[in-house]
Amino acid sequence: MSVTELSPPAAASTLATALAASGIRELLAQLDRELVGLAPVKSRIRDIAALLLVDKLRRERGFAAGAPSLHMCFTGNPGTGKTTVAMRMAQILFQLGYLRRGHLVAVTRDDLVGQYIGHTAPKTREILKKAMGGVLFIDEAYYLYRPENERDYGQEAIEILLQVMENNRDDLVVILAGYKDRMDRFFESNPGMSSRIAHHIDFPDYGVEELATIAGLMLAQMQYRFDSEAGDLFHRYIERRMAQPHFANARSMRNALDRARLRHASRLLDRPEAVDDDALVTITAADLLASRVFADTPAAAPASSA
């Protein structure tokens, strides 16, 4: 069959039918609901899904469609949604028939690299066995490579990964993740790994308003809310926290809310009067001002954790 034998209306209808049958639209909508912002990331995931869907349809129609390389690299700072996107990517690949199980196995160096001779290979192969049919997500993947330590066994894990990524790419997708500058150096030192990565996706940091929205969604899920003063104050908290070391985007928001809940509970425990439902769900400015982020604020309570 030649391309000219397929009329545009029939192609469009078939593709629309294939999209509806795949369930991809719902997964992309779920990803959009789960993650605030990240428009470039969501757009790239949609593009990948569209390419795979079209490739699948091409094969069904008898057109050439080579086996796609699906290994990926997610770069960005902590708390920018890399693990969540990896989970959704696994589901998308499963829905399209590129993975037979569609599960996610998330690991770090410690899960793959042994401490003595003969320990690394079985550890790495055991993880790979668990991940087969799905996605292996390796966070901070650059820690696998430590050339400064001659007795380090990370290179052995890398060599096993390279072999499996090439020979089993129809049954396993590997996603490497970490800071962009460190991943760039990792690929420079490991060209074999770089050549196997087809998709590089950068996850940008969130802005203040996006982080405030994320915190609001987290509060709603936990059935808490800010009072009006605390809501305004939390924007100031975010601005200050972003300027401090070890800021981790959405992860830092969750930590901040967990600590605010601790202070909220302690405050209620000290109240002599009965606690009504409104008090049980309302976080006040005092619960935020106790953070060390506001340690230099005159109205702040004695400094606590961030």
Beta strands in the chain (DSSP E): 72-76, 104-107, 135-139, 173-178, 199-203, 225-226, 282-283
- Looking at the chain, which residues constitute the CATH 3.40.50.300 domain(s)? 8-203
* Helices assigned H by DSSP within 96-136: 109-112, 120-131
Cβ partners under 8 Å of residue 33, min gap 6:
none
Structure tokens at 30: 């779920």
Cβ partners under 8 Å of residue 299, min gap 6:
289
How much is the pLDDT for 66?
67
How much is the pLDDT for 54?
86
Cβ partners under 8 Å of residue 169, min gap 6:
67, 69, 70, 71
Written as tens digits, the pLDDT of the chain (306 aa) is 333 344 444 445 566 676 777 778 888 888 888 889 999 999 999 999 888 888 888 888 888 766 778 999 999 999 999 999 999 999 999 988 899 999 999 999 999 998 888 889 999 999 999 999 999 999 999 999 887 776 788 899 999 999 999 999 889 999 999 999 999 999 999 999 999 999 999 999 999 999 999 999 999 999 999 999 999 999 999 999 999 999 999 999 999 999 999 999 999 998 878 889 999 999 999 999 999 999 876 554 444 456
What's the CATH class of domain 208-294? mainly alpha
- CA-angle at 163, arms to 66 and 175, nearest 5°: 70
Q: Are 238 and 230 in contact (CB under 8 A)?
A: no
Q: Are 265 and 281 in contact (CB under 8 A)?
A: no
Structure tokens at 31: 């990803």
Residue 297's SS3 state is coil
How much is the pLDDT for 236?
95
- Looking at the chain, which residues constitute the CATH 1.10.8.60 domain(s)? 208-294
- Indicate the burial class of 301 (C-beta count within 10 angstroms; 0-12, 13-18, 19 or more): middle
Structure tokens at 284: 């006040």
CATH topology of domain 8-203: Rossmann fold (3.40.50)
Q: Which amino acid is at 193?
A: M
